[in-house]
Amino acid sequence: MTGFVSLVGVGPGDPGLLTLRGRRAIARADTLLCDALVQPGVLRHARPDAEVLFVGKRGGEESTSQDEINHTLLLRASQGRRVARLKGGDALLFGRGAEEAEFLAAHGVAFEVIPGVSSALGATAFAGIPLTHREHSSSVALVTSRERPGRPADRAPLRAIAHADTIVVFMGLGRLAGDMAALVAEGRDPRTPAAVISAGTHPEQRVVVGTLADLAALADAAAVRAPALVVVGDVVALRERLRWWDGPGLHGRRVLVARAAAQARDTVDAFVDEGAVVVEIPMLRFAPTDRPDGLGRALRDLRVGRYDVVAFTAANGVTFAFAALRALGLDARAFGRAMVVAVGPETAGALRAEGIVADAVAAEHHGAALVDTIAALPGVALDGGRVLLLRAEVASPALPAGLVARGARVDDVAAYRTLGPTDEDRERLRAAWSTGALDAVLLTSGSTARALAETLGDALRAPPPGLVVASIGPSTSEVARGLGMTVDVEATVYTVDGLRDALRDHYRQGATVPP
């Protein structure tokens, strides 16, 4: 049998907790079998042509049986496929991973086990509850509250570890009152701090803190839902000082990312890392220019040294210009003696990825700043100099006009064109806007603002109560206000990270936490 199975623990929820070895196994897999708690972000690392099977089991719901899962692993391996079996948390801790490994071994299937971050480690850390502490806890006990089907309820395991400094109970929400009472019956002080962590490490994470005596009632009143972890011990009291993930800020905020799908990943990651619930609805799409002859002619002229300066105003210009260069059989050497200028660090980063270090980077996203940046280039006389602008087909005329006013000879060449959203994405945006399903909207460019306005029409001027509009910088804000939008937050550093920080600080100043 030539197939191979990787039993991969993918962590408790946050896709960023996936290990490097786990990511490699996912990237190599022909088939992936996913548990119910595996987050979609983990599947980003899979090949586009990989087979993805959802085989999660949830208590009380119709789901794939363990026997079906075992035989699916065996079948795919017998077909010579590499299989990644993705399991929430750790691959072997309080799950069926060990049984799956036994089944594979019994049938001669080669396999590996890739450990993952257990919820006992991840959820507690994200809740600000350390499992150990020199002053409070030098022992930790892990126990499951769920019995094997058909086995009589027995709290003997819980009683056996009742006096560990810290106790972590898996799958204990359904038996919370009985488990807490059992610990008290074993002599544990009913005033011992205890907590329930629901959806640990997720943007939806909720933590209810109480004591052995009242935790069950508090969790019931808060309508806490599974998956949930129960923590008992004096370390729970440290949450008040160590809470970092689900405090005031972006945690739980529903943030619209309207960037083109190909550009959205870094933006999504920046906000997910802060605990935001990201709603991705692409309002822009990009395509090669429908005037390729002009772009090709400009790139050939660049190669023979016609231009003194080449300026890129967006990362898209870099992407499409270099695609056109490669189609002509050229590469970064075509820039020759020309000085290269970029607007913003994102554009400069796109150039670096293509082997070009920008000679200057304009910090501000508006024409005057770029004109001043080009004029300050050493050894370049703007008066009489030749400048090539590689940007979108539809762009502000202010930049070339500003350069011409300073005496430059300018070729304003379209490297790409901007398209609007699909009909499906338009409807998704209108629904999210009208139902109040968003807390914040990110404006990462003037094009994004225009696409939102075109889609929403008059509704743009009547935003849902409490909606925050956050702009990446002054030029984007200017476009948005011209369209009738109120800009509530503007980044002072004109990058995605700067936009994230500005929005986070806005919410922190309000010192409110979403429910």
Which residues belong to the active site?
35, 57
Give, in degrees to the nearest 5, the angle at Cα 52 between 50 and 53.
150
Q: Which residues contact 423 (CB under 8 A, 6 or more apart)?
A: none
Pairs from 91-94 (Cβ < 8 Å, separation ≥ 24): 91/7, 91/8, 91/9, 91/115, 91/116, 92/7, 92/9, 93/9, 93/118, 93/120, 93/142, 94/142, 94/144, 94/170, 94/171
Residues forming beta bridges with residue 143, ordered by sequence position: 169
Q: Tell me how crowded residue 24 is: count the other CB atoms within 10 A of its CB.
A: 15
Q: Tell me how crowded residue 8 is: count the other CB atoms within 10 A of its CB.
A: 30
Contact in structure between 282 and 420 (CB atoms under 8 Å):
no
Q: What does residue 325 show for φ and ψ, rounded to 5 degrees?
A: -60, -50
Listed residue (209, 212, 217) closest to 182, CA to CA: 212
Contact in structure between 162 and 186 (CB atoms under 8 Å):
yes
Give dist(CA 335, CA 312) in Å, integer: 13
Listed residue (384, 379, 390) closest to 354, CA to CA: 390
Give dist(CA 151, CA 194) in Å, integer: 27
The 3-state secondary structure of 49-84 reads CCEEEECCCCCCCCCCCHHHHHHHHHHHHHCCCEEE
Radius of gyration from C-alpha coordinates of the chain? 28
Give dist(CA 312, CA 348) in Å, integer: 9
Give dist(CA 170, CA 231) in Å, integer: 9
- The strand ranges marked E within 294-370 are 309-312, 339-343, 360-362
Tokens of 282: 């692409």
Contact in structure between 183 and 158 (CB atoms under 8 Å):
yes
* Single-letter amino acid, residue 23: R
Q: What does residue 114 show for φ and ψ, rounded to 5 degrees?
A: -110, 110
Q: Tell me how crowded residue 223 is: count the other CB atoms within 10 A of its CB.
A: 9
Tokens 């509250």 locate to 145
